[in-house]
Amino acid sequence: MSKDYKLRYEEWLNSAYIDEKSKIELIALGNNEKEIQDRFYKDLEFGTGGLRGIIGIGTNRMNIYTVRKATQGLANYILSKGKENKGVAIAYDSRNMSIEFSEETALVLNANGIKTYRFDALRPTPELSFAVRELGCVAGIVITASHNPAEYNGYKVYWEDGGQIVPPYDKEIIEEVNKIENFNQIKTISKEEAIERGLYNIIGKNIDDRYIEELKKLILNRETIEEMAKSVKIVYTPLHGTGNVLVQRILKELGFKNVYVVPEQEKPNGDFPTVSYPNPEDEKAFDLALKLAKKVDADIVLATDPDADRLGVYAKDVKTNEYKSFNGNMSGLLIAEYELSQKKANGVLLKNGALVKTIVSSNMANKMVKEYNIKLIEVLTGFKYIGEKIKEFEEENSYTYIFGYEESYGCLIGTYARDKDAISAVMALCEATAFYKKNGLTLWNQMINIYEKYGYYKEGLYSVTLEGIDGAEKIKEIMQRLRDNPIKNFGEFNVVAIRDYEKSIRTSLKDNKREKIELPKSNVLYYELENEEWFCVRPSGTEPKIKLYLGIKANNIDEAKIRLEKLNKQIIKLMK
């Protein structure tokens, strides 16, 4: 194996650009060859969304140097487009080093003559998306690693439409970042000079107020909220992240009286001391919230991830008096059914309306759109592609965006932002809780009603973590093996067709007919099974994982669990 990582390590140790504190961290590695290799064997990749990695010193880590490099590349791209006067909005979450990274980001942009609008304190990612368009910026940056463990941080880039960067901007920006080969190419400036030159600007309350007003416009049954606000009990946890202030504000302004915030998890803390993994997809993250819910007899239990774009949900089953969890498909479909049914009831459901979902999200949506006579549009995995569709609908004057969701606990109502928003999802679910409670139902009762109406669709996700150089090679090997050896069945689950999104080809196994897939190329294999069931495999774009998604359809909830487990067992065999 090449020893280039050793040379890079020595270069950082001897560079005048690297500060003494950083050098002490490197010296402390001593003879830990494996750690030195992992820190320096490559540059932290600026992917199609930005950066994400473990905090630390090294070329393959999140630190002020890798952040400056990424920002200089972005600055060069903005300058090449002549859009430096529009400025860049910057937000950050509660993670360790988020404040420092956000300030370094602003100062590099300022040194390149680009105005910045940095939030005065931590804010949710969806508010950053909103701010980009509200302020007329050319781009936005949020410092966050979303729901990753505490040792991670990240750097996510948005373009002037308020959505995450998509083709061709993503690849063009990546090219500019990759052109930065040494520290001499990176400009910076003191904060004092940047302020003096009018380049460094602080934003805050004014954007909050405008954001909250946009959320309130989405309410469908305000009178029901007013009627039921005193009886609905809500437990909420921000999991030490950014959601607390705005969630409490919107619920208070709507009139909800009984909002209980988990005290141990209310304050921002980048170490996330009460959870091992600050992810609302993880049932362990709800331990304290469920304890409080049982104490106060809550109707709904909600958790947002550190940057408040994902939402986890529990609701009571009155038959068993237990709290039932909702995965991302369930909560997304629950909100979708509420929005569509109430818009129809209120006479405001447009005929050219569209629901957008990712290819790995529940097929129940196919039935739902037929019920309400609207268009279903599928996009690749990643909410940025849903945001891209909103822009496309507006430019082409084709469809009216109503709702979008993905299985990974994210959704968006309305078009005020272009990324998933857990704040508005909290608002919508609390409104739905009030509506259904008035009609003698809990959210769990309503979820069962939805299953009875459309079918018992159930989905699962199985991830395999494969870290480092060897892990990356293993992921490549798995994907190649699956392409070279097309699978015809997973036990009793027969394959009808295979979609290879990297080759943009759908192949029917019945007659070997090949059709072109009209979506961007992506390293994804999707297996269409009989009975509307499916399996999909893809490497994660943000973590060292390969992800296995699956979906089944059954006649009742017990059968659904059995079928999902059967398919899951067959799929796990592929990884061995």
Mean pLDDT (whole number) for 217-233: 97
pLDDT in tens, 139-171: 999 999 999 999 999 999 999 999 999 989 999
pLDDT score, position 542: 67
Is 146 designated active site?
A: yes
Mean pLDDT (whole number) for 487-506: 96
Mean pLDDT (whole number) for 65-73: 98
Mean pLDDT (whole number) for 412-419: 97
Say if residue 472's pLDDT is above 60: yes
Say if residue 65's pLDDT is above 90: yes
Please name the CATH architecture into which domain 457-575 falls.
2-Layer Sandwich (3.30)
Average pLDDT taken over every residue of the chain: 96
**The pTM is what?**
0.95
Percent of the chain at pLDDT > 70 equals 99
pLDDT score, position 544: 80
Q: What is the three-class DSSP state of 152?
A: strand
pLDDT score, position 466: 85
The active-site residue, picked from 146, 362, 408, 522, is 146
Handedness of CA 478, 482, 487, 493 (dihedral sign): positive
Cβ neighbours of residue 14 closer than 8 Å, sequence gap 6 or more? none
Q: Looking at the chain, which residues constitute the CATH 3.40.120.10 domain(s)?
A: 43-204, 229-454
Mean pLDDT (whole number) for 458-471: 87
Domain 229-454: give its CATH code: 3.40.120.10
Distance CA 281, CA 268 (A): 19
Mean pLDDT (whole number) for 371-379: 98
Say if residue 194's pLDDT is above 50: yes
Mean pLDDT (whole number) for 515-536: 96
Mean pLDDT (whole number) for 73-101: 97
The two tokens of residue 498 are 């295979």
Say if residue 7's pLDDT is above 50: yes
pLDDT tier, 1 (very low <50, low <70, confident <90, very high otherwise): very low
Q: What is the three-class DSSP state of 322?
A: strand
Q: What is the three-class DSSP state of 381?
A: coil
Residue type, 194: A
Say if residue 3's pLDDT is above 70: no
Judge whether 547 and 463 are in contact, CB under 8 Å: yes
Please name the CATH architecture into which domain 43-204 falls.
3-Layer(aba) Sandwich (3.40)
Say if residue 207's pLDDT is above 80: yes
Mean pLDDT (whole number) for 50-54: 94
The two tokens of residue 97 are 């080093």
Say if residue 232's pLDDT is above 50: yes
Distance of CA 64 to the CA centre of its chain: 24
Q: Looking at the chain, which residues constitute the CATH 3.30.310.50 domain(s)?
A: 457-575
